[in-house]
Structure 1
Amino acid sequence: MAGFRDAFPFGHERSAMSDSALVVGGTRFVGRHTVEELLDHDYHVTIFNRGNHDNPFADRENVDHVEGDRRDETDLKAAKLSVEPDIVIDCVAYYPADVAIATDVFADVDGYVYISSGDAYGVEEIPKREDETPMRPCTEEQAVDESGETYGNRKAEGDRKVVEAAENGVNAMSVRPCIVYGPYDYTERMDYWLDRVDSYDRVVVPGDGQNVWHRAYVEDVASALRVVAEEGEPGEFYNVGDRTAVTLDEMLELMADAMDTEIEVVHAGKRELAAAGLDPESFILYRDYPHLLDTDKLAALGWSSTPLEEAMARTVEEHRESDRDGSEYDPGRENEETVLSVLDTV
């Protein structure tokens, strides 16, 4: 999509000086950190959502709240008229129609940024690059499906809607995170491993511990959204992830260091896991084939990621203050003890 910046010189000039941002979502995880990022860069922020979750910014200066349903075009138009935002960060567009409607409603903003996903890529290759790796297809049925199986398809089709909007003169862009972690992560995927490292001396890890599922620290995702809104090219996609990807073993080492503790990582193969009725996929954040995103395109805009030690230290601090333990993903400590017993007799 080269040349779009030249086509919209005034819009992108203004975006660098914008002081009004609308965040669709904005109270839970990525959205919450995005609001903080925008406030730190002198934006006046308005959160647009249905008000179903506690608003951590209820008493903060320079943060307003407009209640409405993002899937209701009338509500979106009302938010646009009341806020007149310079940039829009769309954290909760889960269907292609959401993106199509939003890019129409916010067609004249300086920057509309859609949060897509690394799952939008349809080919397994290392690394996945925005301008080279094909996207997933999306049928009409998948575009409206609510199941997790079509999540990547729907996100990919949302990216295509961004391209269509840009071709029609809208300053629309997309950011593709990999697995996001950090404070206030309600998915609790990382919390499972944090709880294991904090609670036990021996931690069972499937395989050899060298699998790579690229992760992105949430504050870096938030900064990527702002940077792309200000500096990105309409119609373009930008991967975001830690600039240094780590293996599962290395992730646990980072956790242990941040917790000032020591653990023994015990690797278990399929045979040992099967003794307890488990397999490698029983453990969250395990992925057999590496998932790695190239982040050079985003870095070229001036973005950088937080040092891993700092990111993990902040993640650990908030985890310990929370009541999250990732129990939804727990394969059962008694099952792990069975696996450990098998390994100890080998």
Structure 2
Amino acid sequence: MRILVTGGAGFIGSHYVRTMLTGGYPGFEDAEVVVFDKLTYAGNLTNLASVADSPRYRFVRGDICVQADLDAALPGVDVVVNFAAESHVDRSIHGAADFVLTNVLGAQQVFEAALRHGVGRVLHVSTDEVYGSIDDGSWTEDHLLEPNSPYSAAKAGSDLIARAYAQTYGLNISITRCSNNYGPFHFPEKVIPLFVTNLLDGERVPLYGEGANVRDWLFVDDHCRGIQLVVEKGLPGEFYNIGGGRELSNKELTEKLLDATGRDWSYVENIVDPRGGGHDLRYSVDYSKTAALGYAPRMSFEDGLALTVQWYRENRAWWEPLKAAAATAHQEAGSQDATA
């Protein structure tokens, strides 16, 4: 069996690949894995260094928006798992075009290429952010889609295109929608790795408003096991929520990160949320449909957070260059804005 993993050098995709190539998914121990990645700022081959010597691993640099790139990688592929996406809400608010291009057109190109090459199974990875914000209760998969940021709107578009490819063309595709992931190898622009790395360096962290926004936290390994279950058991055109079952306000999360790094509230800077209406108050998914396939989160948030913080303590060589490069890019962008 040959599996193509788009976005396989990113945070979640690389975890899925590492687990696959180290025998973590029963029945897939002999699967060949082709990682297809454009290697944007969030894609990093270092994430795959531990499995790069596997005879079952192959890397292809390519863009999901480019038909020729996909056609070069897809022959002989049995399963496609599409992780490739632009995924940062703040970036989408300041530049929506790349998100629409990659997350909508790129996804459609993946589905079309899968049809063209007779791929037997496709899994499209999406997000709970397509639902918008919910004050009480939890979203089921048939809930109205009310995305509020360009990122989540683009992902909602790709979800509907995936369903259309199942209904119109008979593509055997399922869609998963996950809650907020965390864990090792998480790019340090997202809240947990940003806060952890700042605090380890004795720097302050930005808490928007009063920290009232609530998220459900999902350890990356639990998410990937849920994805694999849907690959194996999911139905065509169906959606499956994958949650961690642990909701925390941003203030509660910050308290836990301060405790984990030995810092106090003097390291927290309360700032006005620059994201305005694009930032949702609360996310919460009902994942009973996926649980019926055999899914349940195994990692408690406390254990997962401790593991994650320890990983960042021990892997400065991974994250320090990424933060330095991001800071340089931000400064250059500011200089260009000032002279425009």
Question: TM exceeds 0.5?
Answer: yes
| 8 Å contact kept, 1:179–1:216 | yes
Check if 1:47 corresponds to 2:40. no
2:62 aligns with 68
| 8 Å contact kept, 2:241–2:287 | yes
User: Following TM superposition, by how much is the alpha carbon of 1:288 offset from its aligned partner in structure 2, in angstroms?
Assistant: 7.0
Q: Whole-Å Cα distance in 2 between the matches of residues 174 and 103 of structure 1?
A: 12
Check if 1:185 corresponds to 2:190. no
- SS of structure 2 residue aligned to 1:289: coil
Q: Whole-Å Cα distance in 1 between the matches of residues 199 and 133 of structure 2?
A: 33
Residue range with higher mean Cα deviation, 220-229 or 192-201: 192-201
1:117 aligns with 127
2:287 aligns with 295
Give CA deviations for 1:159-204 in whole Å, capped at 9, x if unaligned.
1111111113111111222332211111432123224554669988
Q: Whole-Å Cα distance in 1 between the matches of residues 183 and 13 of structure 2?
A: 13
Q: Whole-Å Cα distance in 2 between the matches of residues 104 and 201 of structure 1?
A: 46
Closer, same or farther in 2 for the Cα pair 1:78/1:206, shift >3 Å?
closer
The equivalent position to 2:14 in structure 1, one of 32, 44, 51, is 32
Closer, same or farther in 2 for the Cα pair 1:121/1:51, shift >3 Å?
closer
Check if 1:98 corresponds to 2:106. yes
Q: Whole-Å Cα distance in 2 between the matches of residues 29 and 178 of structure 1?
A: 14
Q: Whole-Å Cα distance in 2 between the matches of residues 294 and 210 of structure 1?
A: 21
The equivalent position to 2:302 in structure 1, one of 286, 289, 309, is 309
| 8 Å contact kept, 1:120–1:136 | yes
- SS of structure 1 residue aligned to 2:176: strand
2:175 aligns with 174
Closer, same or farther in 2 for the Cα pair 1:166/1:288, shift >3 Å?
closer
- SS of structure 2 residue aligned to 1:45: strand
- 1:48 maps to amino acid: F
- SS of structure 2 residue aligned to 1:246: strand
RCO higher in structure (CA 8 A, sep ≥6)? 1
User: Following TM superposition, by how much is the alpha carbon of 1:35 offset from its aligned partner in structure 2, in angstroms?
Assistant: 0.4
1:58 aligns with 52
Closer, same or farther in 2 for the Cα pair 1:233/1:150, shift >3 Å?
same
Q: Whole-Å Cα distance in 2 between the matches of residues 210 and 267 of structure 1?
A: 18
Q: Whole-Å Cα distance in 2 between the matches of residues 249 and 297 of structure 1?
A: 30
Closer, same or farther in 2 for the Cα pair 1:101/1:206, shift >3 Å?
closer
Q: Whole-Å Cα distance in 1 between the matches of residues 81 and 65 of structure 2?
A: 15
Q: Max radius of gyration: which structure?
A: 1
Q: Whole-Å Cα distance in 1 between the matches of residues 13 and 280 of structure 2?
A: 30
Identity of aligned residues (%): 26
TM normalised by structure 2 equals 0.72
- Unaligned runs of 5+ residues in structure 1 are 1-18, 138-147, 330-346
Q: Whole-Å Cα distance in 1 between the matches of residues 179 and 295 of structure 2?
A: 16
- 1:191 maps to amino acid: P
